Structure 1
Amino acid sequence: MTIKKKNELWEWTKALLIAVILAGVIRYFLFAPIVVDGLSMMPTLKDQDRMIVNKLSYTVGKPHRFDIIVFHAPEGKDYIKRIIGLPGDKLEYKNDTLYINGKSYKEPYLDDYKKQVTDGPLTEPFTLKEKIGRDTVPPGELFVMGDNRRFSKDSRHIGAIPMSKVIGKATIVYWPPKDAHIVSMK
């Protein structure tokens, strides 16, 4: 082999190594692909939707009410749910309405499902005390729920989620292409 060909091979090898290392860093520290498994976030997210999770979002910022997050659940699986309660919040559901610290909140992402339900409320009434044994969401924890309220295993069943278990904020559905969109509260 000539020196020119050896140098060209070395340059291609370096470029490939840098690309692999950069992809690994991005995947491990910044963004990760996930697949929605199940119907607990319908109609917002469908089973087998493929999404991007922004792992950096809560490293540099704080979670916001109604963000959709991915977290490590107690049984060793990763769940995707919506933040309903932040640390210090007092939560209650009555008459299919969310009350946080005594103030009612609209949940526009549930409007379509509420219209379809004819045999009672979409979200059964409850207080935070009934579900987690506390009046407020504990410091450093979040209360999360799936949008498909009747068929979601969430904080009503597994308790509040420690921030240390949060992987990141689900931001973009990229597959299937016809359903690609940025996830929002609506």
Structure 2
Amino acid sequence: MQFESNNEVSSPQKDNRPFFREVLESVAIAVLLAVIIRLFILEPFYIPSGSMEPTLKENDRIIVSKLNYHFQEPKRGDVVVFKYPLDTKRNFVKRMIAVGGETVAIKNSVLYINGQRVSEDYLPQGLRFADYGPVEVPAGSYFMMGDNRNNSDDSRVWGFLPKELIVGKAVVIYWPPGRAGVVQ
């Protein structure tokens, strides 16, 4: 007995593109996405010095969010990566201490903003550093300091940071694994 059917079974269409073209397109898309992410969203940075100890240690690797400051203004206490004002080819990382319009002073190793004492829980207990100021931060600028106050090339040395030199907010330490966590 024979069965006849008008239903044809077709095999899936074979893609005529060569395999290497598919691989090339996939690699090109991956590279494009990586460039977009690195330029506009997240970027890794290496910490070359101890100027931010104990928060960031020499040889730490961090991820910086470039999006944060597109949606909100930087605020006091943020750890920020920026272009060094005296050589914009170099990147620095420091803590934002004051914003435009605020007055900064240091007396007896205590930070004062607009005459009010500021608690700095991120500094090592008993740290002593030189008096400074008072100085008023100009509008559109920031006052930056390293957490390792005695070994930091910061706004006390080179002045105020213009807003346009900010790269982004340090958000995560990813290396070494034992130090991985949120930057605070």
> TM-score scaled to structure 1, two decimals?
0.85
SS at match of 1:114: coil
* Corresponding letter in the other structure for 2:162: P
Indicate the residue corresponding to 1:138 in structure 2: 138
Indicate the residue corresponding to 1:157 in structure 2: 157
The structure in which a higher percent of residues are helix is 1
SS at match of 1:34: strand
Alignment partner of 2:117 out of 104, 110, 122 = 104
Alignment partner of 1:126 out of 116, 123, 132 = 132
How far is the alpha carbon of 1:95 from its aligned partner?
A: 2.0
**In structure 2, what is the Cα distance between the partners aligned to 1:37 and 1:172?**
16
Identity of aligned residues (%): 39
Runs of 5+ unmatched residues, structure 2: 1-13
**In structure 2, what is the Cα distance between the partners aligned to 1:108 and 1:114?**
9
Indicate the residue corresponding to 1:67 in structure 2: 78
**In structure 1, what is the Cα distance between the partners aligned to 2:144 and 2:44?**
21
How far is the alpha carbon of 1:12 from its aligned partner?
A: 3.1
CA RMSD of aligned residues (A): 1.5
**Matched pairs, number:** 169
Alignment partner of 1:54 out of 62, 65, 84 = 65
How far is the alpha carbon of 1:9 from its aligned partner?
A: 4.0
Q: Looking at CA atoms only, which structure, 1 or 2, has the larger radius of gyration? A: 2
> TM-score scaled to structure 2, two decimals?
0.86
